[in-house]
Structures are given as structure tokens and as C-alpha cells.
Amino acid sequence: MNRLHTLSLPDYLAERLKKELPAKEALKMMFPNIKAMPEHIPPTVRLSAVMVLLFVKNSEWHLLAIRRTEDGHAHSGQIGFPGGRYEEEDKDLGVTALRETFEEIGIPAEAIKVLGPMSPVYVVVSNFNVFPYVGYLETLPEFEISPNEVQAVLEIKLSDLFSAAAKTETEVVSPAFPDIRRRVNAYKVQDNVIIWGATAIMMAELELLLREADHEFF
């Protein structure tokens, strides 16, 4: 495996995120029976943003994710990225992602180099249009977790996440619809953690972007 300078991956993504993104391909990876995201998002939609944080640990690229607190809400206990609802005082959705990341896990905005946005994902069950932003951490600070929102922080190696062994199909239940069970494509990482839904779509788009590169990043 190539061990590139730690700035190579951020520099590549900063340029690649300015171009057309593989949103349809990422959706197809995780939900092959869905042709596309809804053409018409309801006017009542709520906006939110999340931060997809990349960092190097032990000479390997990692991605930071969180397990949400069990609170009975639509995404209770699920794996996601730090983030939350857009507020009127936010200058833009990038600011939302930075603010929520600080509020949920204590990483200050000045510690994050924002590389650019990925494709938004509309989440039907909570009526949120979620805008993911990719960020880079030169150093991993101490976490200050908000227990009302975050149960745990996950540090996932890209080489594990994007390996063939991590691709799985599983039966899931959404807390919003506890009586409905579905089989979905998903990622399975350490400790048999299953990542599916909107978060998995975002991860799939990131995987597709990195696989386009001439270099081996993971």
C-alpha cells in the first residue's frame, strides 16, 4: 500500500469536490432498487449538515463517525456523522456542520480544514435534506462528547471501511418504524458495527471519489 504524504488526500479531495459528484452511483451502491433521490423534495423539508472528518492515525487514513444516543427519535442509536439542523444565524450549511461538530464532540471549527461539500442526501423518515462536508484534521484533539446527542465516537480506518470484507447485506429496523424490517446494503466495521442509510450513501460517495484517484489512499 502506498503511504502518501498526509496532505495528498486532502489536496486531491479539495479539487475533486469542485466537480460533478457520483451521487447516483453512491445511492445505487447502497440502495440498488432506488433509481434516484426524489425529484421534488417537500417544501416543508428541514435543512441540516454533517461533517465527514478525515485524519491520519498510526500512518493510516481514518474517518470519524459517531453513534447517536438512544433517545427514541428517528435516528436513535444509529451510526452517523457529527452534525445537525441549520439555524438562521448560520452563515451557510458549512457553518452548520462546523458548529454542530463542536457542540456534539467538542472539535473547534479552527481545527478543521473544510475541503468541500459532497452530494446532499434527503432522509424521508425525518424530512431532512442533509448536506455533508468533508473536513481534514491535522491532529486529533480530545473529544468532549455531548451525552444527550452522542453515545460514542468511532475512529474507522479507510482500509477497513472500503475493503470488500466490509460490504454486507443486512436486515435493519428504523426506530421510526419499529414494525418494518428491511434488507439493505451496508458497511460492517469493527465490533460488527453496521452502517446503513444516509450515512452509508455518503460513505459510498467518498469511496467512489477516492477510487477515482491515480494513487492508493487506503
pLDDT tens digits along 176-199: 666 767 889 999 998 899 999 999
Q: Are 105 and 97 in contact (CB under 8 A)?
A: no
Q: What pLDDT is attached to residue 181?
A: 77
The yes or no reply on domain 8-157+195-212 and CATH 3.90.79.10 is yes
Q: What is the mean pLDDT of residues 90-118?
A: 98
Q: Is 123 left (phi over 0), alpha (psi -120 to 50) or beta?
A: beta
Q: Measured between alpha carbons, how far is 10 from 99 in angstroms, rounded to an integer? A: 21
Q: Is the pLDDT of residue 156 over 50?
A: yes
Give me the chain's average pLDDT, please.
Answer: 90
Q: Which residues contact 157 (CB under 8 A, 6 or more apart)?
A: 60, 61, 62, 218
Q: What pLDDT is attached to residue 131?
A: 98
Q: What pLDDT is attached to residue 92?
A: 98
216 — pLDDT class (breaks 50, 70, 90): confident
Q: Is the pLDDT of residue 133 over 80?
A: yes
Q: What is the mean pLDDT of residues 87-103?
A: 98
The residue among 44 and 33 whose pLDDT is bigger is 44
Q: Measured between alpha carbons, how far is 70 from 197 in angstroms, rounded to an integer? A: 17
The residue among 120 and 8 whose pLDDT is bigger is 120
Q: Are 81 and 201 in contact (CB under 8 A)?
A: no
Q: In what order do the strands lie in the sheet with 193-195?
A: 167-174, 177-189, 193-195
Pairing type for strands 83-85 and 79-80 reads unpaired
Q: What pLDDT is attached to residue 142?
A: 93
Q: Is the pLDDT of residue 3 over 50?
A: no
- Residue 60 corresponds to which cell in the numbers above? 493510516
4 — pLDDT class (breaks 50, 70, 90): very low
pTM of the model: 0.91
Distances (CA, A) of 97 to 72, 117, 123, 127: 23, 10, 17, 18
Q: Tell me the pLDDT tens digit for each residue of 65-84.
A: 999 997 656 556 899 999 99
Q: Which residues contact 12 (CB under 8 A, 6 or more apart)?
A: 213, 215, 217
Q: Measured between alpha carbons, how far is 142 from 69 in angstroms, rounded to an integer? A: 19
Q: What is the mean pLDDT of residues 136-144?
A: 95
Q: What is the mean pLDDT of residues 159-186?
A: 85
Q: Are 89 and 37 in contact (CB under 8 A)?
A: no
Q: What pLDDT is attached to residue 40?
A: 80
Q: Are 87 and 98 in contact (CB under 8 A)?
A: no
List the chain domain ranges: 8-157+195-212
Q: Measured between alpha carbons, how far is 117 from 213 in angstroms, rounded to an integer? A: 18
